[in-house]
Amino acid sequence: MMRLLIDLWEGVKIAFQALRANKMRSLLTTLGIVIGITTVIMIHSIIMGLNAAFYTSISALGSDTLYIGKFSWMSRTDWIEARNRKDITLKREGNAIKEYATLVKAVAPTVSAQRTVKYESEKLNDVNIIGTNEEYAITSNVEPEYGRMLSKQDVDHRRNVCVIGWEVADKVFKNKNPLGRNLSIGSYPFRVIGILEKRGNLLGHNLDNEIIIPLGIFQKQYGARRWVTIEVKVIDPALIEEAKDEITGILRRVRKVEPHQENDFAINQQDMIADMYKRLTTALYAFAFGVGSIALIVGGIGIMNILLVSVTERTKEIGIRKAIGARNKDILLQFLIESLVVTAFGGIVGIIAGFVFAKIIAASTFLSATVSPVSVAIGIIFIFIVGTFFGLFPAYKAAKLDPIEALRYE
């Protein structure tokens, strides 16, 4: 054990000596490894960053909310076929779910449109106007920062009231308190009763650029023939599959779907987006792994090549060491360590460079990057694999040298 430690330490010292003696060569040799590790770390950091951003983003959807509409979020359904489906309506589907479904705690039909909103001289274009009911607060998990949400009375009496998103409040009302003021939405006046908390983005869609108004007034002012999405909150996230089955049954019945026919509606949920995203990033991972592997193999071959040169150059040294008692495995270990030191040097530079590049890319594009211990671990594992694998052949060659031949070598 003691001997192995001394061997290892000696190996490290010899390796550094050899590297110092051939600075330029070592630097060039290690470049391949630097590029390989940089690529792997950089892409891994970016994927980690994307993941973090993505999951934060879709968390706004809520894992226990179902979105019922004509269109599936999965792209596989035929769009034209889906467009010709019977509309989802508030009266038929909305009421049926409310009446018969036992596993839901809130049902909110929603319709939406883009409108320009105005207050005094301030204007904001393309604000997402959502017509819904009082249960929307539950299904979409939003709370007012100031004021209140829509009440049942607001909805039943089709009052001209609205709850505005954070950004609308900020941009249209500036420093004034919006509560109680009249906002003009597509030329109809609405009194502001609440301001939503800041919510951020959902897959690039700005959730703060939003106004919620009672469904009835929405249909009256902006037309009734719109695609309705019914948002349903399940009583318990664990029962989401059962709830889907129950709702499927109810909808098939009210929409008179024959037993042999497929569903002519879609029940969407957060998972579907996550699945799709996972499939996408798996491909990205595979690509990154491929690029990184190729760079590392090229780098590893470079290291093997330079080590073979080094073994030849130091044949005499190997002979001397063997003459004074170095065993084959001592020599093997010495060159393996040298390989690992070169690789580790390149690897550490690569890890740092990878993080730096990832951060630069994150800062200059829409991508984000997360520096994680996992990335470092991946880097270190690669270093060990490459260093050992490509060092083995030269080290074996050195270990097997005949001491007499080696001593005679000039």
Partner 1 sequence: MLIKLEDIKKIYQVGAEMVGALQGISLNIEENEYLAIMGPSGSGKSTLMNILGCLDTPTSGSYKFTSELVSEMDDDQLAEIRNRQIGFVFQTFNLLPRATAIHNVELPLIYNGTPSSKRKKIASDALERVGLADRMNHRPNELSGGQRQRVAIARALVNNPKIILADEPTGNLDTRTGEEIMEIFEQLHEQGNTIILVTHEEYIAEHTNRIIRLRDGKIERDESI
Closer to partner 1 by Cβ: residue 70 or 321: 321
Per CB under 8 A, does 23 bind partner 1? no
Q: Are 183 and 122 in contact (CB under 8 A)?
A: no
d(CA 30, CA 38) in angstroms, rounded, equals 12
Per CB under 8 A, does 24 bind partner 1? no
Per CB under 8 A, does 7 bind partner 1? yes
Give 68's strand partners: 230, 267
Per CB under 8 A, does 186 bind partner 1? no
* Residue choice 326, 337, 378, 395 for contact with partner 1 (CB under 8 A): 326
Per CB under 8 A, does 321 bind partner 1? yes
d(CA 228, CA 110) in angstroms, rounded, equals 6
Per CB under 8 A, does 87 bind partner 1? no
Closer to partner 1 by Cβ: residue 21 or 28: 21
Per CB under 8 A, does 338 bind partner 1? no
Per CB under 8 A, does 313 bind partner 1? no
CB of 341 to partner 1, least distance (A): 16
* Residue choice 17, 59, 153, 201 for contact with partner 1 (CB under 8 A): 17
Per CB under 8 A, does 325 bind partner 1? yes
Closer to partner 1 by Cβ: residue 73 or 409: 409
| Number of neighbouring beta carbons within 10 Å of residue 211 | 25
H or E segment to which residue 210 belongs: strand 210-214
Q: What phi and psi, each to the nearest 5 degrees, are found at residue 348?
A: -65, -45
Per CB under 8 A, does 10 bind partner 1? yes
Per CB under 8 A, does 2 bind partner 1? yes
E strand spans, 57-165: 65-69, 104-119, 122-132, 144-147, 161-164
Window 377 to 406, contacts with partner 1 (CB under 8 A): 403-404
Per CB under 8 A, does 407 bind partner 1? yes
CA dist 80 → 85, 252, 378, 404 (Å): 9, 20, 46, 83
- List the one residue out of 328, 345, 249, 243 whose CA is nearest residue 29: 345
| Residues 12, 35, 356, 359, CA torsion sign | negative
Instruction: Point out which span in 186-194, 224-232, 318-326, 379-387 binds partner 1 (CB under 8 A).
Output: 318-326
Task: Tell me which residues touch partner 1 (CB under 8 A).
Answer: 2-3, 6-7, 10, 17, 21, 316-317, 319-330, 403-404, 407
